[in-house]
């Protein structure tokens, strides 16, 4: 295992793989090789990064100091197995996969989990993204910390259980708030009102959450337990039963919280 790393290989070609690889390259690391189940993606990805495109995940071990596995959670174990015997450090980037995924033979292993939503083509400032790092030894932790510190100022050490809960929290604060925006838009469509009328509300609600506890600044009919308005809204959603059900469940959650 190298104390000072320079060459990084990447398994995967999804959103996390792209954003991390671009970021690492900008920090001066060489992306030596890439592999992806989708060989079309792998080729395009390798070309963009000036990296070698591997036909097999096992080839990532050649001439690299760190291998980053940024694939779907269910595929990590299989790839980790194909890398067993690698003398460098193997890391994955998943919130909800424990270190035990490396039990089948990785000598030096860890996790580098960026808590952010990544979409292809949308630039994210990695320097502001919190990274959660775990490693099987202090030595590996130190090498990973050095690598990640070049990407971001926000590095935390978190064990697998904490990281899992972080991921669950992120699903609520990210994926599910995004779902709420999407449902808002679909309801606007039924009223023939353009989506952008919700933008100031979305921006202000998010802005407030960064400076105050959201539970203290909650507003709206459920917070006031305004039964009349809640009933009226459920009637208005009669033609959208799935949204009506969600409206009701979420309103009850709020009224219960402030009882």
Q: By CB under 8 A, what part of segment 171-190 binds a second copy?
A: 171-185, 187-188, 190
- Quick note: the x/- pattern for a second copy over 220-249, rule CB under 8 A, is xxxxx-x-xx--xx--xx----xx-xxx-x
If the CB atoms of residues 28 and 239 are measured against a second copy, the closer one turns out to be: 239
Closest-CA residue to 151 (of 108, 74, 203, 91): 91
Closest-CA residue to 25 (of 60, 52, 49, 53): 49
If the CB atoms of residues 58 and 184 are measured against a second copy, the closer one turns out to be: 184
Query: 29: which residues sit within 8 A by CB, 6+ positions away?
Result: 5, 6, 7, 8, 147, 150
Integer-rounded Cα radius of gyration of the chain:
22
If the CB atoms of residues 56 and 216 are measured against a second copy, the closer one turns out to be: 216
Cβ(109)–Cβ(102) below 8 Å:
yes
96 binds a second copy per the rule CB under 8 A: yes
Q: How many helices (H) and strands (E) does the chain have?
A: 10, 8
Q: Total binding residues for a second copy by CB under 8 A?
A: 92
- Quick note: the x/- pattern for a second copy over 4-23, rule CB under 8 A, is -----------x--------
Q: How far is the CB of 177 from a second copy (least distance, A)?
A: 4
226-236 burial by CB neighbour count: b if 16+ within 10 A, else e? eeeebeebeee
The one among 41, 150, 208, 255 contacting a second copy by CB under 8 A: 208
The one among 27, 43, 198, 255 contacting a second copy by CB under 8 A: 198
């Amino acid at each position: 295992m190298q104390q000072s790393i320079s060459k990084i290989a990447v398994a995967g070609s999804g959103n996390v793989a792209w954003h991390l690889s671009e970021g690492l390259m900008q920090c001066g690391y060489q992306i030596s090789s890439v592999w992806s189940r989708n060989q079309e993606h792998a080729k395009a990805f390798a070309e963009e990064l000036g990296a070698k495109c591997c036909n097999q995940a096992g080839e990532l071990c050649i001439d690299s100091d760190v291998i980053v596995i940024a694939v779907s959670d269910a595929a990590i174990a299989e790839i980790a197995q194909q890398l067993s015997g690698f003398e460098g450090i193997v890391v994955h980037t998943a919130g909800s996969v424990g270190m035990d995924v490396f039990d089948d033979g990785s000598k030096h292993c860890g996790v580098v989990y960026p808590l952010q939503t990544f979409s292809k083509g949308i630039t994210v400032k990695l320097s502001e993204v919190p990274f959660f790092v775990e490693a099987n030894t202090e030595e590996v932790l130190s090498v990973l910390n050095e690598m990640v510190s070049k990407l971001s100022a926000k590095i935390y050490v978190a064990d697998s259980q904490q990281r899992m809960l972080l991921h669950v929290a992120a699903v609520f604060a990210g994926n599910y708030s995004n779902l709420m925006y999407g449902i808002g838009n679909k309801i606007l469509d039924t009223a023939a009102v353009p989506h952008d009328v919700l933008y100031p509300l979305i921006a202000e609600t998010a802005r407030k959450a960064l400076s105050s506890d959201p539970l203290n600044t909650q507003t709206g009919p459920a917070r006031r337990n305004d039964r009349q308005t809640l009933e009226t809204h459920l009637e208005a959603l009669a033609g959208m039963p799935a949204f009506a059900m969600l409206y009701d469940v979420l309103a009850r959650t709020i009224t219960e919280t402030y009882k």
